Amino acid sequence: MKAVIMAGGKGSRIATVKNDIPKPMIPIAGKPVLEYEIESLVRSGITEIIIVVGHLGSVIVDYFSDGSQLGATISYYSEDTPLGTAGALYYLKDKLTEPFFLLNGDIMLDIDFIRMMRYHRDKNATVTLFTHPNSHPFDSALIFTDSLGRVTKWLHKEDERSIYKNRVNAGIHILSPDILNLFDGAFVDLDRDILKPLVSYGHVYAYDSPEYVKDMGTPERLKRVEEDVLAGKVRGRNLKNRQKAIFLDRDGTLNKYKGFITKPQDIELIDGVAEAIRRVNDSDYLTIVVTNQPVIARGECTIDELNDINATLETELGKHGAYIDGLFYCPHHPDRGFEGERPEYKVECDCRKPKPGLLFKAAEIFNIDLTASYMVGDSMTDVMAGMNAGCQAILIDNAMESTKENESYESLLEFVREIIPS
């Protein structure tokens, strides 16, 4: 497999930090951000790399040379005139005859590239985008998908949005070589000119992952990325490594309990929840929501309506710079006799809490060590689900006393402050 890294940008937003070197060469904890990208590729066995250079490109060529010191084979393409985010691919198509990775050269990352390529091949995709949640979805490009992971809608920063699932295009792509027939050697905006128009054909997929991928394009973000490198968070979040998570119930734990919620407008965050989740986001824990939603089986809500409700939760959290890494729900309800109920969901399942199926599913997808994780909820059903999965169970309910089996806290924020101190 090959990788192409686009490293020709000027980085105008970060120029106050360094204006005499290309943005991908800005040092973080002693070495350029581009070097971290190359090292991550090499650790996944991707050693043949083409770097597209432009502004001050000789700085990059002189530093990396042929790449042998990093275990890679690096060649270069120099843009005489700017060709946009991917126009240079037209001139590389003879070298790109198999699916290849295309990366922005100015992002800090550490991901399992092989895992992403396996997903691309399993989906028989033409394009696969790496997507993830971030703390500023309101000024990021948002990706919408169907239940199979196929991209259905793409919103740019300036596009109006109301409620949304916090899934952002991260600047990592897998492209099949056929896509290069769409290029003509002119200036190209990859997202707007090539990828977004392909969405309607159904061959663009999103690979969603909580692995570490962050833009370091402002002085504030650069400082934060360096802190994360030094703390080991960047390498640690690679899904080759065992993760730990805080599993969260939804209703009564994150949003105010109002009975069965069947409308997005009924989502109202509990005071302190956004602060708690921001603190978890900044830690070594993943944030995973696991929730029973019998409204589907009872016929009180459709899957699309439930998706809108969950998107509202993510939208409200995003307004406060908080996000969840994953959300899993059980649509089943074994009891019958409800008007409009859906018989296909009236089953005994393995995912309805207190059974641990939702936690097991998340653990498989995200390589989570359940014994190092917590399950937090406002009912004994949540507590039992956590215990059945092998997690430490935490009850959020100031009316109930702690037992030997579980601890009790008045709020999610109180619990998070204890295990993740400032």
Instruction: Just list the catalytic residues.
Output: 249, 251
357-366 and 380-389 helices cross at what angle (nearest 10)? 50
Output the 3-class SS for the chain.
Answer: CEEEEEECCCCHHHCCCCCCCCHHHCEECCEEHHHHHHHHHHHCCCCEEEEEECCCHHHHHHHHCCCHHHCCEEEEEECCCCCECCHHHHHHHHHCCCCEEEEECCEEEECCHHHHHHHHHHHCCCEEEEEECCCCHHHCCEEEECCCCEEEEEECCCCCCCCCCCCEEEEEEEECHHHHHHCCCCCECHHHHHHHHHHHHCCEEEEECCCEEEECCCHHHHHHHHHHHHCCHHHHCCCCCCEEEEEECCECCCECCCCCCCCHHHCCECCCHHHHHHHHHCCCEEEEEEEECCCCCCCCCCHHHHHHHHHHHHHHHHCCCCCCCEEEEECCCCCCCCCCCCHHHCCCCCCCCCCCHHHHHHHHHHCECHHHCEEEECCHHHHHHHHHHCCEEEEECCCCCCCCCCEEECCHHHHHHHHCCC
| Torsion over CA: 114, 118, 121, 123 (sign) | negative
**Which residue is listed with tokens 């734990």?**
253
Question: Hey, which residues does 285 pair with through a beta bridge?
Answer: 244
33-43 and 57-64 helices cross at what angle (nearest 10)? 50
Question: Hey, which residues does 49 pair with through a beta bridge?
Answer: 3, 74
* CB environment 323-342: b (16+ within 10 A), e (fewer): bbbbbbbbbbbeeeeeeebb
**Which residue is listed with tokens 């492209």?**
175
The encoded tokens of residue 335 equal: 């009891």
